[in-house]
């Protein structure tokens, strides 16, 4: 059998010249040597005399500066120390992350009064402490310099809240009979709902409209038709043996990804004694993160989703496939239908479509496969999305007709994200009283007459019930930084209620829970959950199915090219666009930062731009330079956007995909300024719901645009294998295949047993007490990037901005490498593997030997230590690191140096770095981790500050170290539990057990070079018949590769 070839870049696939060159050079820039040869030193830019002058001057200046008096530092204690605060010791408060209906129970780490890190709340049964990248990054939003700092009326600051209340009160009193509308995102907070009810009671004719930027009305309405409930059930991905997703990115952005990812990966964990796992099929037009994790994936146009669903239903009911094109797709549908039928009661179908008809058919499929009541739980419906598109459309019409008296806006931004934003804006201008409670001067807020910014969730009281019966409470972790007030407080005040929301909230829950003690306990825990998980099915009514099928069959066929709008796991619907941590997090699939772009199939790319990615020169031209061709995308008659193109294998050839959430107003902050373009206007309203795809006219332009991708920044220099993968069938037949392979490879050097000793000239060093080790299960990792942001937050990792990412100066200590395998011209053959890559803490580390000043060396606990104050920046270590995980501080990114403007000119104008250097933003820095200065190398430390703290806790208690004492930031953030960390010397620790229980899948990356990593990986198991093989015989040679279109192992 041919070796499966994984590749990160097209250059690597073809082994192109540019790839070979970049593999040789760790740092892609030329060293700034000047040429002396011809002219001699005197003519050089810096002649010898000048050089000596500068040396003399700087030595004298340094001596003078250093011999000045030491600065006097002040130490100012509390006047009256609060009982629960000990300076230097962090407090943890349970609270809730909320963002437009989504709510995740979290614990905020508060150090000396400042929240600096968000962790998941492990008491929650449905997240079990899992988080997402957005949750992890939300703490930075608290310190966003662009937050509104005071109430405003007609564009001017209002000095006091009382004055503001008076102004709004008078304005609303003058409304007369014109109704008032409270326009919010989905509200699932029980106490806030009560506040809203009481508020609206004071304003007869007033109503509450909920609006979700990414609408789920299709599901809500379909469920109303099928189950008689306008709600969304819970999904049990963990008990489903067969999971079929019709374009739902349920691991990344769909509905409630943290919960789904936890459940999904639970069903994908492999027990070596009893090998089984769920099977995941994905049908979609673009390559989503969820699709990238699928065992089998079939592509189709977005407009065909309904036909695919109808065909599956037809096959289940004994009918036949209709309305779809492509043999592979048809075969796939047949296969899926067969598999679904065979797994009745253990299968689940979900769809990301917002079309009511599609969702009705999906409901019928789920009914046919017995999912209702087994994998679909109506006992605890999801409540995080409740917006109905038609209600919003009605409101916009009424606003335009001038009948609405007042609009109070909280947490929504239709002027940016409504499909017909222009209409909303013109309507808003006709409303007499417009009030915004949004935290920022966003597109909608700037059009409002009255602005009273609400507080950040870390400054607020509150609660949320994202699933019926599962409540998560919110408490402030810091006093409001600015003159802001929670929107609930304003509503209470304006409805004539004198109690503050804090008291209201306390009374509400004390009454509900019975006593003050239970209230305090609930606040401490952060979550209130039912004693037994409610479960059950819904009463199904198949009445509307036939009509839905008919309407799907008669639906208009898509045009030549279709554009589909999607959300990135990082930016989402754009409300976090000013968060530099999220902007700089590489997209799981494209590995691009700081932009949105058109994702396009290489087939289309060849057709349109004549870029043949299997041709070396052309692939290099496309890939080795950041300049990407720009495409003009036109939908309908008047919306036209020009965006750069990224060629992504796995895309349907006639589908292009563009992420929403970009192109924000520059008033929401410096990080969002000039990043990407808004494409919400490409969505359309079909009379019932908003549809997120459209026919597009595309046209190539002569322009080029630089996209900062991190894909080609690190290379293994042709070494392999970096990832290991096996099919489920093969793993069952031959469980020790990977282990045997390793044994065979290491045989000449002592085999698996004696490799450490026999494979080297160096002595083996003792690890007498603790030896830290990490294991990453590649079968659980689905690439979401929560760990990347968690690492950034915990370790003060710098944000460098787009210009620096373009120069490969990105600083992430932990990256998630994305590998493709398969034929780039065949979307169905593409298989994707995600591999988190961080410092491997090699016991025989190549970086340590080459450091001339011993700034990096090994500890007796197995840590590869990096000592910043000793580093002189030779970068030999980074050059010698086989994993390419060391990062160099090319500039003073986080303001560590004593001199304020000690930054390179080019970087000094990089607005994002300036933003991160603001005194307010710097409040997020972890005081236990050194802020690295310019000119030093840094890398993953295994969160050594947490290790030291955990050890100290154990020492203080006089007991041995336990697993619960230490968790790395990435481990804690992971909702898939893909990362296990601990003391390997303790045979009973979780890490030892994980390695012992999974020895057949265990491997070390580049084990054969005897660097002895302390990070092990578990091979990915793909529940499919074959692994995609890319037939590239010439892969490792310089010979010109074949055309690259050889037949693949078919599905």
Contacting residues for 404 by C-beta, under 8 A, at least 6 apart: 178, 179, 180, 181, 395, 398, 427, 430, 431
> Cβ of residue 651: shortest distance to other proteins, in angstroms?
43
Residue number, 413 or 795, with CB nearest to other proteins:
795
Phi-psi domain of 639 (left: phi exceeds 0; alpha: psi -120 through 50; beta: other): beta
Residue number, 375 or 926, with CB nearest to other proteins:
926
30, 42, 73, 273: which one binds other proteins (CB under 8 A): 73
867, 880, 1008, 1026: which one binds other proteins (CB under 8 A): 867
Question: Could you say whether residue 857 binds other proteins (CB under 8 A)?
Answer: yes
Residue number, 86 or 397, with CB nearest to other proteins:
86
Distance CA 102, CA 254 (A): 11
Question: Could you say whether residue 928 binds other proteins (CB under 8 A)?
Answer: yes
Distance CA 190, CA 462 (A): 9
Beta strand residue intervals within 285-399, DSSP E: 296-299, 347-351, 376-382
Residue number, 45 or 956, with CB nearest to other proteins:
956
Three-state SS annotation for 893-946: CCCCCCCCCCCCHHHHCCHHHHHHCCCCHHHHCCCCCCCCCCCCEECCCCCHHH
> How many residues would you count in the chain?
1051
Name the one range near other proteins by CB under 8 A: 375-383, 471-479, 954-962, 1030-1038: 954-962
Backbone angles phi, psi at 890, to 5 degrees: -75, -20
Binding to other proteins in span 639-698, by CB under 8 A: none
Distance CA 800, CA 1038 (A): 36
Residue number, 183 or 936, with CB nearest to other proteins:
936
Site string for other proteins, 185-224 (x = CB under 8 A): ----------------------------------------
Residue number, 169 or 769, with CB nearest to other proteins:
769
CA dist 49 to 38, 43, 53, 54, 55, Å?
19, 11, 6, 9, 10
Q: Reduced to 3 states, what is the DSSP secondary structure of residue 698?
A: strand
42, 204, 318, 768: which one binds other proteins (CB under 8 A): 768
> Cβ of residue 80: shortest distance to other proteins, in angstroms?
5
> Cβ of residue 859: shortest distance to other proteins, in angstroms?
4
Distance CA 707, CA 975 (A): 30
Residue number, 374 or 985, with CB nearest to other proteins:
985
Residue number, 65 or 177, with CB nearest to other proteins:
65
Name the one range near other proteins by CB under 8 A: 307-315, 335-343, 549-557, 952-960: 952-960
Neighbouring C-beta atoms of residue 715, cutoff 10 Å: 20
> Cβ of residue 763: shortest distance to other proteins, in angstroms?
16
Question: Could you say whether residue 905 binds other proteins (CB under 8 A)?
Answer: no
Neighbouring C-beta atoms of residue 908, cutoff 10 Å: 14
Tokens at residue 430, please?
A: 């006709």
Question: Could you say whether residue 843 binds other proteins (CB under 8 A)?
Answer: no
Distance CA 293, CA 284 (A): 13
Query: Residues 975, 786: contact at Cβ < 8 Å?
Result: yes
What is the distance in angstroms between the CA of the first residue and the CA of the last residue of the chain?
16
Question: Could you say whether residue 956 binds other proteins (CB under 8 A)?
Answer: yes
> Cβ of residue 59: shortest distance to other proteins, in angstroms?
12
Distance CA 999, CA 774 (A): 14
Going by their DSSP bridges, the two strands 152-153 and 450-451 should be labelled as antiparallel
Classify burial at 77, counting beta carbons within 10 Å of its beta carbon; exposed 0-12, middle 13-18, buried 19 or more: exposed
Question: Could you say whether residue 907 binds other proteins (CB under 8 A)?
Answer: no
Residue number, 48 or 959, with CB nearest to other proteins:
959
Binding to other proteins in span 517-546, by CB under 8 A: none
Contacting residues for 662 by C-beta, under 8 A, at least 6 apart: 571, 574, 577, 595, 596, 675, 676, 677, 678, 679
Question: Could you say whether residue 892 binds other proteins (CB under 8 A)?
Answer: no
Backbone angles phi, psi at 1040, to 5 degrees: -60, 130
Q: What is the largest CA-CA distance in the chain?
A: 92
Number of residues that bind other proteins (CB under 8 A): 52
386, 603, 944, 970: which one binds other proteins (CB under 8 A): 944
> Cβ of residue 942: shortest distance to other proteins, in angstroms?
9
53, 557, 700, 955: which one binds other proteins (CB under 8 A): 955
Beta bridge partner(s), residue 119: 107
Question: Could you say whether residue 80 binds other proteins (CB under 8 A)?
Answer: yes
Question: Could you say whether residue 852 binds other proteins (CB under 8 A)?
Answer: no
What value, to the nearest 5°, has the Cα angle with vertex 139 and ends 97 and 668? Answer: 100
Site string for other proteins, 770-789 (x = CB under 8 A): x-------------------
> Cβ of residue 876: shortest distance to other proteins, in angstroms?
17
Name the one range near other proteins by CB under 8 A: 348-356, 428-436, 712-720, 852-860: 852-860
986, 1008, 1049, 1051: which one binds other proteins (CB under 8 A): 986
> Cβ of residue 794: shortest distance to other proteins, in angstroms?
12
Question: Could you say whether residue 763 binds other proteins (CB under 8 A)?
Answer: no
Question: Could you say whether residue 914 binds other proteins (CB under 8 A)?
Answer: no
> Cβ of residue 871: shortest distance to other proteins, in angstroms?
10
Name the one range near other proteins by CB under 8 A: 568-576, 676-684, 862-870, 1040-1048: 862-870
Distance CA 833, CA 817 (A): 8
Give the CA dihedral 1033, 1036, 1042, 1044, nearest 10 degrees.
80
Name the one range near other proteins by CB under 8 A: 422-430, 553-561, 697-705, 957-965: 957-965
> Cβ of residue 525: shortest distance to other proteins, in angstroms?
24
Question: Could you say whether residue 86 binds other proteins (CB under 8 A)?
Answer: yes
197, 553, 769, 1045: which one binds other proteins (CB under 8 A): 769
Question: Could you say whether residue 931 binds other proteins (CB under 8 A)?
Answer: yes
31, 38, 72, 531: which one binds other proteins (CB under 8 A): 72
Residue number, 155 or 768, with CB nearest to other proteins:
768
Question: Could you say whether residue 78 binds other proteins (CB under 8 A)?
Answer: yes
Indicate the helix (H) or strand (E) that contains 487. helix 487-494
Residue number, 58 or 734, with CB nearest to other proteins:
58
CA dist 663 to 48, 441, 701, Å?
50, 15, 20
Distance CA 778, CA 724 (A): 9
81, 704, 1033, 1046: which one binds other proteins (CB under 8 A): 81
Question: Could you say whether residue 91 binds other proteins (CB under 8 A)?
Answer: no
DSSP 221-243: HHHHHHHS-SSEEEE-TTT-SEE
135, 307, 863, 940: which one binds other proteins (CB under 8 A): 863
Distance CA 309, CA 149 (A): 49
66, 173, 177, 498: which one binds other proteins (CB under 8 A): 66
Name the one range near other proteins by CB under 8 A: 24-32, 65-73, 419-427, 460-468: 65-73
> Cβ of residue 765: shortest distance to other proteins, in angstroms?
12
Neighbouring C-beta atoms of residue 727, cutoff 10 Å: 17
Beta bridge partner(s), residue 794: none
Contacting residues for 1048 by C-beta, under 8 A, at least 6 apart: 822, 823, 826, 829, 1028, 1029, 1030, 1031
* Site residues, other proteins (CB under 8 A): 66-67, 70, 72-81, 86-89, 766, 768-770, 857, 859-861, 863, 865-870, 928-931, 941, 944-945, 948, 951-952, 954-956, 958-961, 983, 985-986
């Amino acid at each position: 059998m041919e070796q499966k070839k994984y590749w990160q870049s097209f250059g690597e696939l073809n082994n192109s010249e540019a790839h070979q060159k970049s593999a040789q050079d760790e740092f892609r820039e030329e060293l700034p040597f000047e040429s002396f040869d011809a002219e001699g030193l005197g003519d050089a830019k810096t002649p010898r005399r000048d050089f000596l002058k500068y040396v003399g001057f700087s030595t004298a200046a340094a001596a003078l500066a250093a011999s000045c008096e030491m600065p006097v530092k002040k130490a100012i204690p509390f006047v009256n120390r609060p009982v629960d605060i000990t300076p230097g010791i962090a407090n943890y408060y349970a609270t809730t992350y909320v963002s437009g209906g989504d709510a995740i129970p979290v614990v905020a780490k508060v150090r000396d009064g400042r929240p600096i890190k968000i962790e998941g709340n492990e008491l929650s049964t449905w997240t079990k402490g899992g988080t997402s990248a957005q949750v992890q990054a939300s703490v930075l939003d608290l310190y966003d310099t662009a937050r509104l700092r005071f109430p405003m009326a007609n564009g001017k600051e209002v000095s006091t809240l009382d004055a503001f209340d008076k102004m709004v009160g008078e304005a609303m009193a003058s409304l007369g009979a014109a109704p008032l509308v409270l326009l919010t995102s989905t509200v699932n907070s029980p106490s806030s709902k009560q506040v809203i009810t009481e508020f609206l009671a004071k304003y007869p004719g007033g109503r509450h409209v909920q609006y979700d930027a990414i609408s789920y009305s299709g599901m809500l309405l379909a469920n109303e038709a099928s189950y008689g409930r306008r709600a969304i059930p819970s999904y049990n991905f963990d008990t489903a043996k067969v999971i079929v997703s019709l374009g739902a990115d349920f691991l990344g952005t769909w509905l409630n990804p943290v919960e789904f990812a936890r459940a999904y990966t639970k069903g994908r964990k492999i027990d070596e004694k009893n090998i089984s796992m769920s099977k995941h099929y994905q049908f979609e037009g673009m390559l989503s993160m969820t699709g990238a994790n699928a065992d089998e994936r079939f592509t189709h146009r977005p407009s065909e989703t309904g036909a695919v669903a109808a065909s599956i239903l037809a096959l289940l009911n004994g009918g036949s496939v209709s309305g779809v094109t492509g043999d592979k797709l048809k075969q796939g549908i047949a296969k899926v239908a067969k598999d679904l039928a065979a797994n009745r009661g253990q299968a689940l179908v979900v769809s990301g479509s917002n079309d009511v008809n599609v969702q009705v058919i999906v409901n019928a499929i789920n009914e046919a496969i017995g999912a209702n009541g087994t994998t679909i739980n109506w006992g605890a419906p999801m409540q995080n999305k409740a917006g109905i598109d038609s209600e919003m459309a009605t409101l916009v019409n009424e606003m335009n007709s001038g009948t609405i008296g007042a609009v109070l806006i909280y947490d929504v931004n239709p002027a940016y994200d409504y499909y017909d934003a222009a209409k909303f804006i013109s309507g808003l201008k006709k409303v007499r009283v417009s009030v915004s409670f949004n935290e920022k001067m966003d597109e909608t807020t700037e059009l409002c007459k009255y602005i009273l910014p609400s507080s950040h969730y870390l400054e607020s009281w509150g609660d949320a019930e994202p699933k019926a019966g599962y409540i998560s409470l919110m408490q402030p972790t810091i006093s409001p930084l600015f003159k802001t007030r929670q929107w609930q407080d304003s509503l209470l005040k304006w409805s004539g209620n004198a109690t503050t929301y804090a008291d209201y909230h306390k009374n509400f829950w004390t009454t509900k829970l019975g006593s003050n003690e239970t209230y305090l306990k609930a606040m401490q825990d952060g979550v209130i959950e039912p004693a037994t998980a409610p479960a059950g099915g819904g009463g199904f009514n198949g009445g509307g199915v036939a009509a839905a099928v008919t309407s799907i069959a008669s639906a208009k066929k898509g045009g030549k090219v279709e554009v589909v709008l999607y959300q990135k796991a990082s930016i989402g619907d754009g409300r976090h666009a000013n968060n530099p941590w999220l902007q700089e997090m590489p997209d799981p699939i494209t590995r691009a930062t700081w932009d949105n772009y058109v994702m396009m199939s290489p087939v289309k790319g060849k057709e349109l731009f004549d870029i043949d990615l299997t041709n070396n020169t052309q692939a290099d031209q496309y890939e080795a330079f950041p300049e990407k061709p720009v495409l003009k995308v036109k939908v309908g008659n008047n919306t036209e956007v020009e965006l750069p193109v990224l060629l992504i294998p796995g895309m349907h050839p006639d589908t292009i995909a563009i992420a929403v959430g970009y192109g924000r107003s520059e008033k929401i902050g410096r990080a969002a300024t000039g990043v990407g373009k808004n494409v919400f206007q490409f969505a359309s309203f079909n009379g019932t719901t908003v549809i997120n795809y459209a026919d597009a006219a595309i046209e190539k332009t002569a322009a080029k645009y630089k996209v900062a991708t991190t894909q080609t920044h690190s290379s293994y220099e042709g070494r392999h294998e970096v990832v290991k993968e096996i099919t489920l069938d093969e793993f069952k037949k031959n469980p020790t295949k990977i282990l045997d392979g390793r044994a065979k490879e290491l045989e000449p050097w002592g085999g698996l047993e004696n490799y450490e000793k026999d494979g080297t000239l160096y002595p083996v060093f003792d690890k007498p007490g603790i030896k830290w080790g990490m294991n990453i299960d590649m079968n659980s990792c689905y690439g979401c990037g929560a760990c990347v942001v968690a690492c950034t937050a915990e370790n003060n990792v710098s944000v460098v901005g787009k210009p620096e990412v373009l120069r490969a100066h990105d600083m992430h200590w932990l990256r998630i490498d994305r590998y493709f395998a398969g034929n780039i011209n065949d979307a169905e053959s593409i298989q994707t593997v995600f591999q988190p890559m961080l410092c491997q803490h090699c016991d025989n580390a190549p970086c340590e030997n080459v450091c001339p000043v011993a700034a990096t060396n090994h500890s007796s606990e197995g840590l590869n230590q990096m000592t910043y104050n000793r580093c002189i920046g030779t970068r030999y270590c980074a050059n010698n690191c086989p994993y390419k995980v060391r990062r160099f501080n090319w500039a003073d990114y986080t303001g560590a140096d004593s001199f304020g403007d000690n930054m390179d000119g080019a970087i000094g104008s990089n607005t994002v770095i300036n933003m991160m250097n603001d005194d307010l933003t710097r409040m997020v820095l972890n005081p236990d981790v050194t802020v690295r200065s310019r000119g030093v190398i840094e890398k993953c430390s295994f969160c050594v500050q947490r290790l030291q703290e955990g050890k100290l806790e154990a020492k203080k208690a006089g007991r041995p170290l336990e697993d619960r004492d230490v968790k790395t930031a990435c481990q804690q953030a992971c909702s898939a539990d893909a990362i296990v960390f601990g003391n390997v010397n303790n045979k009973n620790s979780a890490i030892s057990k994980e390695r012992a229980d999974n020895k057949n899948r265990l491997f070390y990356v580049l084990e054969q070079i005897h660097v002895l990593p302390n990070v092990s990986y578990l091979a990915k198991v793909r529940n499919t018949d074959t692994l995609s093989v890319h037939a590239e015989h010439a892969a490792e040679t310089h010979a010109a590769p074949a055309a690259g279109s050889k037949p693949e192992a078919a599905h």
